[in-house]
Amino acid sequence: MFNSKSAVILGASSGIGREVALLLLSEGWCLGVAARREEALLELKALAPERVEVMAIDVTSPDAGEHLLTLIDRVGDIDLYFHASGIGKQNRTLETDIELQTMETNALGFTRMIDTAYRYFAERGRGHIAAITSIAGTKGLGPAPAYSATKALQATYLQALEQQAHQRGLDIRFTDIRPGFVDTALLNDNFPYPMLMRPDFVARDIVSSIRRRRHVRVIDWRYRILTFFWRLVPRFLWRRMKL
Ligand SMILES: NC(=O)c1ccc[n+]([C@@H]2O[C@H](COP(=O)([O-])OP(=O)(O)OC[C@H]3O[C@@H](n4cnc5c(N)ncnc54)[C@H](OP(=O)(O)O)[C@@H]3O)[C@@H](O)[C@H]2O)c1
């Protein structure tokens, strides 16, 4: 599947999505790139004008799915839909706006776009859906309730679609990417995040995981160990843990 080399990346304007776009471009892929900030997307197009299509898409908008289909049409045909768009903030004082915006983007917007890609691939006969969820979905995190809850939703949703596709006999592959802390704009709140990874390092792991058709990939090995132990922590201890 990777020989035909065309994809749409949603959330390509910055951070991990942008790094994955750069990597795929350097490998000769044709791309449709989308996010809200069109100027940042046009910078990608300038690198390979004949291989990049650009579209401003806000995943919280009700017509975002239609825009995605238009973008796919402009690329021609895609083998991979990569969902990198998302927001996340610490919210220790539980401000309503932050919680609801996070839900709209990471839960409703995510569902809207992943469903559109799923139906597209179901009709086309085959395809690959990859999405960045997070290790934050492993447990409910007190400092970021909506973020951790929506990341758990995303992971469960991908698992559900994977089962549905299998039972319907659809040749659709799913890759759930779960990074630990990555040095991107998402974390620009001056909090001293430990074990920070570089976005280009994470992007290389993502592309390799997609190529290997992995179902779930926690990045990197330190976070694989951490999340293994997080899962074992009982509820009465978890609520006492300082994060
Ligand atoms: N950084 C980390 O530590 C970390 C760890 C684990 C998982 N993740 C996940 O990785 C993904 C990418 O985040 P990042 O770290 O690369 O942060 P980032 O640099 O802030 O990138 C977020 C991307 O999402 C797009 N986006 C946000 N809201 C959108 C909307 N309403 N419609 C369309 N696009 C939207 C942004 O583009 P526009 O603003 O131009 O729309 C941007 O391209 C997110 O899902 C995040 O939760 C990040």
Q: pLDDT tens across 62-97, in order?
A: 999 999 999 999 999 999 999 999 999 999 999 999
Regarding the beta carbon of 166 and ligand 1, being less than 6 Å apart is answered no
Compute the average pLDDT of residues 56-63: 98
Q: Is the pLDDT of residue 2 over 70?
A: no
Burial class (CB in 10 A: 0-12, 13-18, 19+), 95: exposed
Q: Which of 9, 10, 14 has the most ligand 1 atoms within 8 A of CB, as the residue to mutate?
A: 14
Cα of 27 vs centre of ligand 1, distance in Å, is 23
**pLDDT bracket for residue 4 (50, 70, 90):** low
Q: Which of 9, 10, 36, 43 has the most ligand 1 atoms within 8 A of CB, as the residue to mutate?
A: 36
Residue 132's alpha-carbon distances to 17, 46, 125, in angstroms, are: 9, 26, 24
Regarding the beta carbon of 137 and ligand 1, being less than 6 Å apart is answered no
Token pair in block for residue 17 = 């999505």
Regarding the beta carbon of 41 and ligand 1, being less than 6 Å apart is answered no
Q: pLDDT tens across 163-205, in order?
A: 999 999 999 999 999 999 999 999 988 888 999 999 999 999 9
Nearest CA to ligand 1 atom 17: 186
Q: pLDDT tens across 129-172, in order?
A: 999 999 999 999 999 999 999 999 999 999 999 999 999 999 99
Cα of 161 vs centre of ligand 1, distance in Å, is 22
* Domain coordinates in residue numbering, the chain: 6-238
Q: Where are the alpha helices (DSSP H) in the chain?
A: 15-26, 38-47, 64-75, 96-102, 110-124, 145-167, 199-211, 221-232, 235-238
Q: Which fold has domain 6-238?
A: Rossmann fold (3.40.50)
Nearest to 219 by CA among 239, 242, 196: 196
Regarding the beta carbon of 36 and ligand 1, being less than 6 Å apart is answered yes
Rounded to whole angstroms, the Cα distance separating 185 from 73 reads 30
Q: pLDDT tens across 9-19, in order?
A: 999 999 999 99
% of the chain residues with pLDDT over 70? 98
Cα of 196 vs centre of ligand 1, distance in Å, is 16
